[in-house]
Amino acid sequence: MDITVRPAFDSELPTVAALLSEAFATDPAAHRIVGVRPREQTRTALEDLLEPLIRLYYFPDGEVDVAVAADGEVVGAALWDRPGSSLGLRAQLAMAPSVVGVLGRRLAKTAIQSFRVQAYHPKFPHWYLFMIGARPEAQGAGVGSALLRHGLDRAGDEAAYLEASTPESAALYQRMGFVPLGLTPLPADDDDPELAMWRPGAMPT
């Protein structure tokens, strides 16, 4: 597949949110956030969370990349946190109604788990790959590799970090230069742990 990776346009926000929600609808990471639900309910819940997150945080303060096929269709997307960036209080307050509406009684559990995983992040500046995915019909066609390569090229000599939620994604990241750091601190009864992975930055000259 002939793929071009570029920054997303503001008008593509719904497309990016829908695409990533579809890609993660059966992913263990999604179930840890919204709970175990039927596939379509999981997709809808993720989309309701991602739309305000992308609009309020990733467009102004992060990086939103899209993979575009030769016919112009967006077939993949990735969300990156820049080094030192974080979700500000204003954005958190603006997102609160959507978060409460989607998570309901799971809000406290999900928040605690999020804090635990965030605490596992390296304590010095790095690029963070929050989410990357491809349309189901484009999976296995090099979309993820193209998006990841684009993000790492932008990072240059700076370090990068991510969590792999499946063995298949971990294998891709390892081929792209990431090394495993260990399992993230998930609940003891979780059968699908996430693997923290790190691409070191270059030594200063």
Domain definitions of the chain by residue range: 3-199
**Contact of 174 with 197, CB cutoff 8 Å:** yes
Report the CATH superfamily, name and number, of domain 3-199.
Answer: Gcn5-related N-acetyltransferase (GNAT) (3.40.630.30)
- 3-state SS record for 82-134: CCCCCCCHHHHHHHHHHHHHHHHHHHHHHHHHHHHHHHCCCCCCCEEEEEEEE
**Amino acid at the residue 58:** Y
State the distance between the two ends of the chain, measured CA to CA, in whole angstroms: 39
Whole-angstrom Cα distance, residue 180 to residue 27? Answer: 20
β-pair partners for 128? 81, 161
**Contact of 77 with 132, CB cutoff 8 Å:** yes
pLDDT in tens, 107-120: 877 777 777 777 77
pLDDT in tens, 117-168: 777 788 889 999 999 999 988 888 899 999 999 999 999 999 999 999 888 8
Q: What is the pLDDT of residue 186?
A: 64
Whole-angstrom Cα distance, residue 17 to residue 43? Answer: 10
Q: How many residues does the chain have?
A: 205
**Contact of 48 with 102, CB cutoff 8 Å:** yes
Pairing type for strands 3-7 and 74-81 reads: unpaired
- Evaluate if residue 28 carries a pLDDT over 70: yes
**Amino acid at the residue 119:** A
Q: What is the pLDDT of residue 127?
A: 96
- Strand, helix or coil for residue 28: helix
Q: What percent of the chain stands above pLDDT 90?
A: 55
